[in-house]
Structure 1
């Protein structure tokens, strides 16, 4: 984040960033049961067991050309595919919404980050500090790494595999233009940020003690103002992150981690279809 602030006709620049992670887990399994697919049949179907190997990328150049909608989804979501090796969440110590002690056949690491530049000025009143802020730049960026326990021998059918389609549904949820737009709208709508004296002290800690002791001091540094602005932006970022996470879990709940198709009459199905239409340049009402 690059933010610019103004005080006494002087401009200063500072920066920060924040990244969040969500893990999704899926199963490559018999569509009738919510259990793991047995290893032997998978090998018989032409899948190589790479559990004990190092994860290797599945290059996009090795895959058939996807549909236009999927191609745009992969671009916007910055998607990478890997296969083999240990489950990423186990080696990286990341949280996963999956079942404990269950072997999953796919796992998606979802990363969300925000970036903004801002111009602001501030003053103290009887309640605390008021910051007037505008954001010339404000956006969210997403990245996805999709891991498969086994890699199909024949990649020509890759996009038609039910597990791949399930993972793409998750990516549709985390790249939904409406969800990302809500973040931008929420942040920009707060042109005046207000912080009580206690909030300033809570956010800035000991740094604020000498600055707010007389309840009128204007002597805030650019770094301190950066922390205050970032605190509010982060609140909206966290809400966006949680919304996506809720939809991720709902998709897994309705499909048993990819074992079943999303019900056609489910609101989630409408969300997925709506998301694809928005990304294809066909805006619809919310």
Structure 2
């Protein structure tokens, strides 16, 4: 987990960013600790009956500011904890990475791609959404690489996702000779991409799309089954042990259940 700070952060800018709002806050200590994959937890709006914080993606750090992705414009001051979670790990040596992003979940992958490129790796994007209007970061991705594939469920942009997305990911990984997969997508697309990567011997790192009611591990509302290195499946918290996991170890078919073979399930 990151080394977060609890701060009252000033909002210094907001603008439309695809289907969401990009909100820039001044928070020098948190910005210095940010790595792609981290998130922030905000308090509920004033007057709300919800006492929990709300987890939001951190898009990037720039000097003493953080860019957050929110559904609407916030008040001028935000009470937040950041950075939180486990970020995407960097490869030990330059390679070729395929970055899969679905809808606004794709946001943190742009800063990750910049980091990978700076370290000498090659990158390619697969950006997916239900429809063309829900695609996120297309132009920003194209500024980083010519290899940008669009997928939509309704076929309104790029290729249709279809019934066999694993075949699409297999073709993309093979065409690139990619040895890394980074994903920030729903469980369906992520599981398909991980299966294709694993079959090709590529390593995968995936941000699990889970509800993070508090963002700090206290509420236990984001547990999921993950297979550890010893082969035993255990329930872990997406907000503290993740949200980024080794994709091959996540029990994708059991995200909303407690599989019978999970340690402690029968107790």
| TM-score normalized by the length of structure 2 | 0.25
Q: Which structure carries more relative contact order (alpha carbon 8 Å, separation 6+)?
A: 1
| TM-score normalized by the length of structure 1 | 0.24
More strand by share: 2
Q: Bigger radius of gyration, 1 or 2? A: 1
More helix by share: 1
